[in-house]
Structure 1
Amino acid sequence: MFKYLVFFGVISLFLVQRTAAQDRQYIPDTVLINGDTLLMLGDSLLIEEPPKEIFWTTGGNYNLNIQQVTLSNWAAGGASSFALNSGLSLFANYKKDKKVWDTQLNINMGFNRQEDRDFRTRKTNDNFIFVSNYGRELSEIYYLSTQLDFRTQLLPGYKYTRPSGADTERREKISDLLSPGYLQSSTGINYRRTYENESKVSMILSPFTGRFTIVMDDSLSRAGAFGVTPGENVRAEAGVSLNTSISNFKIMENVTWKADLNLFSNYERLGNMVVNFNSIIRLKVNKFISTRIETVIIYDEEVFIKQDDGSSKQAVQLQNLINFGISLDF
């Protein structure tokens, strides 16, 4: 129950920020008399209040990609399959005087179904990333900022194997919602800059970073998965971090790049980095159709990846997706 409360609490925090944003109000016809702006109401004249400033900007993107292959009596061989990948990205940004508050929520989910497998439907993409950054201006491009970064997945993940001599496949649960979950809080100096082409760069160097690895699944916790002490649900670390993000970088006409890099090193083993890198290249065909090339690279020396031979070892995790389909901006 606790892991679901944490999960929905993060979503609620994002929605509260989003609904706090205000749109400009409709301004009725006005008349200018002796340099003053007046509002006509019946036979009376009222001085119009100045328009309210907009401190919030909100928006997002939804994408959906579907692939289907149907084979019947196909001499070249193969199997019928169906694949679906979907993603939702939301943002809510606040700026007033010397205060800034940027929040992003990214959710991705993908499945693949293939007819010739024992477990036909399998997950191919699943991540939930929530990042919120609050800062106060020190100079035009430098801010004192605090950032909260939360990452997990939504559905159970499995390792599929077919033991030697076995007629059927087996699957082993290796992850779940909040198993793992990563919560990172960092405070430091933030370099922020917006260029004329609307691309943005942000870099936060934080010598004061707390990182918490969460494993709420009892079986994974007992096994000491993801670096937690066997039987424990949370592993706490203190260290230094570097968070870098690039958004809306225009490579060429209708081609943009968005990326973020998160590096963390524990003070007890300074120099051993936890790496999280996410990259999205978007090739926009028109208002509703685009191609997305998504790449995720993760390395954590506390995470041991189970191999096909049954052994486990440290390894670089790589995910690469090329999607063509519907894309809606709002």
Structure 2
Amino acid sequence: MKILHNFLILIFITICTNCYSQDSLITPVVIEIKPVTAVATATITATIKIKTGLPLPIFPVSAWHSKNTVGFDLSEIAFINWNAGGVSSISGLFKGNFFRTYTSENSKWVNELIVRYGINKQDGLTVRKADDELRFNSTFGYRKDPLSNWYYTCKINFNTQFSNGYKYPDTSTPISKPFAPAYTFLGAGADYFDKENKFDVYISPLTMKSTLVLDQSLANKGAFGVNKATYDSEGNLISEGKLSKTEIGFLVTNYYKKEVWKNITMENRLSLYSDYINNFGNIDVEWKLQFDLIVNQYVSANIGTHAIYDDDVITYDEIDGVKVAGGPTLQLRQSLGVGMVYVF
């Protein structure tokens, strides 16, 4: 009986060994043998550990990264029998920033979509527009040395608005409309990009600036620098105003973002442009400075200013009920808001 028992064990080991030799993915068999008891039945317990030997699955990391931020700011003030006087008002602002970024060892492609729209309602007045912006920025850069912060770069910027703009209280004659104006910057140059410090300077010696005024009534007035319509001595229209204007010039932009204090972030955007042909040295300026104060994950406050100086944008003053064209001037907007924000 003992001879038969040992013979069966030998056969079992031989079979397992042959299986292992045919498939290198299976590790040697580990066998645990319990001694034969006084009972006539022999019990053999075998524990087999199998290791596939295959490499673990590797999931590639995408070179694309995305960040979406949407928020809504609300401010309200109400007066009831308030002896000091005042006007009740309520304001709302929707804002969104959407980023899509592609990065590799020697290249980067940054895409940004910015939308803002705000309204204001004061007691006794109709609803008025308080903010309006649609902006798209796309920058592609390539560098030869992965240790360098300098990139050969192409950049395109586009911005316009969603709805008509008015010089209140006159709401009968719009002074701006969607795609009237719309600005496009397209150029190539060099970009210094410091990702760690969130600092970016772009220098382009060759940038095309296109101004669109896709409303004939505004184009006939020569709004936003396009060639206006011509009339004869009797006021009859000879030729309509141009719907677009193209310039070639020099562009410098800067972006900088930093946490200046705990939970307080400063964001700075600056754009300087000068046309080579028309009044070279006369610089168009757009500057945005904003401070974001983080209360918690979903609540924040912000303080910002937006300044524009464009030699092609002419202001109008009303003298004795007649609109008189003036010269270009500084456009300035300031904002303060508290609201909800969601990042995904």
**TM-score normalized by the length of structure 2:** 0.76
Work out the CA distance in 1 between the residues paired with 2:318 and 2:208: 34
Q: Which is worse superposed, 302-311 or 286-295?
A: 302-311
- Structure 1 residues 308 and 284 mapped into 2: Cα distance closer, same or farther (>3 Å)? farther
Name the structure 2 match of 1:136.
142
The Cα offsets for residues 136-173 of structure 1, whole Å up to 9 and x where unpaired, read as 01441100000000011111000124xxxxxxx66431
RMSD: 1.8
How is 1:86-235 mapped onto 2 (pairs within 5 angstroms)? 86-117=94-125, 120-139=126-145, 140-161=148-169, 171-195=172-196, 199-230=197-228, 231-235=241-245
Q: What is the deviation of 1:81?
A: 1.5
Q: Which is worse superposed, 70-79 or 87-96?
A: 70-79
The letter of the residue matching 1:304 is I
Match of 1:266 among 271, 275, 289: 275
Identity %: 27
Q: What is the deviation of 1:280?
A: 1.6
The question of whether the paired residues in 1 share the 8 Å contact of 2:75 and 2:338 is answered with no
Work out the CA distance in 2 between the residues paired with 1:170 and 1:208: 40
Q: Which runs of 5+ in 2 are unaligned?
A: 1-26, 28-49, 229-240
Specify the SS of the correspondent of 2:175. Answer: strand
The question of whether the paired residues in 2 share the 8 Å contact of 1:160 and 1:172 is answered with no
The question of whether the paired residues in 2 share the 8 Å contact of 1:160 and 1:171 is answered with no
**TM-score normalized by the length of structure 1:** 0.80
Q: Which runs of 5+ in 1 are unaligned?
A: 1-32, 34-41, 162-168
Work out the CA distance in 1 between the residues paired with 2:317 and 2:53: 79
The question of whether the paired residues in 2 share the 8 Å contact of 1:307 and 1:313 is answered with no
Name the structure 1 match of 2:5.
none
The Cα offsets for residues 251-279 of structure 1, whole Å up to 9 and x where unpaired, read as 01111111211111100121011111112
Larger radius of gyration: 2
The question of whether the paired residues in 2 share the 8 Å contact of 1:192 and 1:201 is answered with yes
Q: What is the deviation of 1:187?
A: 0.3
How is 1:246-325 mapped onto 2 (pairs within 5 angstroms)? 246-247=256-257, 249-268=258-277, 269-309=279-319, 310-311=323-324, 312-325=326-339
The question of whether the paired residues in 1 share the 8 Å contact of 2:204 and 2:250 is answered with yes
Work out the CA distance in 1 between the residues paired with 2:343 and 2:273: 33
